Amino acid sequence: MKQYLRSSVLVIGGAEDKVHGKEILQRFWHCAGGTDAIIAIIPSASREPTIIGDRYVSIFSEMGAKDLKVLDVRDRIQGEDKDYQEYVEKCTAIFMTGGDQLRLCGLLADTPLMERIRQRVKLGEVTLGGTSAGAAVMGHHMIAGGSSGESPNRALVDMAMGLGIIPEVIVDQHFHNRNRMARLLSALSNHPERLGIGIDEDTCAVFQKDEYIEVIGKGTVTIVDGQAMSYTNHGKVAAEDPLALHNLRLHILGHGDRYNRKTHQPMAGIVE
């Protein structure tokens, strides 16, 4: 069931294995072309972009990537940098690291660099990967922060605009690890037409064009589908009041499981 499609978008829940089997990063490298891979690394979510950028350079370099470059954008003006733009034209893949998703969007949203990346991803010409903050930015609506340990309520989650790579999803990462179900539900209450996707650490939802999501890695991908939601009190209660949401569909997907984005149906993978 392994498909190394160039057009894959790898949405990673953070803390992916960088030392042992490296299943997720290996998949990214394979999609990117393996020994022909030309990979741009964007560490802009992080306040330590040099360290984190170099870390991924080492990993993909050891795997045998053909060429690598860190697009170390620390100022929006660099979103017009000619060198960076040229690299985005010739690369086969782009990887966005973890850090702060608001920082990442603040630096890159609507820059020529990001617009071209989005276009090439949409055309299926390049592989895109993002982990943690780099995963959070994938949707049109983005969870910027929030809390846990409360009944779902609007004040439990901070929303912002994402990069809109896969507009219809609202991604949450480190999902079960940081007990984020209540905040994802809180986010969805205002956008039930979006698909809520919670990705555990060292776990990846591989988006393949408009068709399937495939799960790889160690944990689960949680899908909360509000398509058939019959009721929410979202617009009627105060921000701290508990939210009601009726008739959601919930899928916990494990390794190898798939989800059909058109039919909204999950399919079981083969347990090896």
Q: Which of 94, 245 has the CB closer to its own copies?
A: 245
As measured in angstroms, the least distance from the Cβ of 177 to its own copies is 6
The position carrying tokens 């490298």 is: 29
Distance in Å, CB of 247 to its own copies, minimum: 7
Cβ atoms of 11 and 204 within 8 Å: the answer is yes
Q: Which is nearer to its own copies, 121 or 204 (CB)?
A: 204
Q: Which two tokens stand for residue 91?
A: 């690369």
> What residue type is assigned to position 82 of the chain?
K
What is the DSSP code string of 40-95? EEE-TTSS-HHHHHHHHHHHHHHHT-SEEEE----SGGGGG-HHHHHHHHH-SEEE
Q: Cβ 194 to its own copies, closest distance in Å?
A: 16
Helix (H) or strand (E) holding 120: helix 112-122
Cβ neighbours of 266 (radius 10 Å): 19
Show which residues are catalytic.
132, 150, 174
Which helix (H) or strand (E) element contains residue 33?
A: none
Closest to its own copies by CB, 191 or 249: 249
User: 90 vs 246, which CB is nearer to its own copies?
Assistant: 246
Cα–Cα distance for residue pair 24/204, rounded to 1 Å: 7
To the nearest whole angstrom, how small is the minimum distance from the Cβ of residue 1 to its own copies? 15
Minimum distance of its own copies from residue 147's CB (angstroms): 11
Give the residues lining the site for its own copies (CB under 8 A).
148-152, 176-179, 181-182, 185, 200, 203, 218-220, 224, 230-231, 233, 236-237, 241-255, 257, 266, 268, 271
100-135-77 Cα angle (round to 5): 55
Using the minimum distance from each CB to its own copies, give the nearer residue, 25 or 221.
221
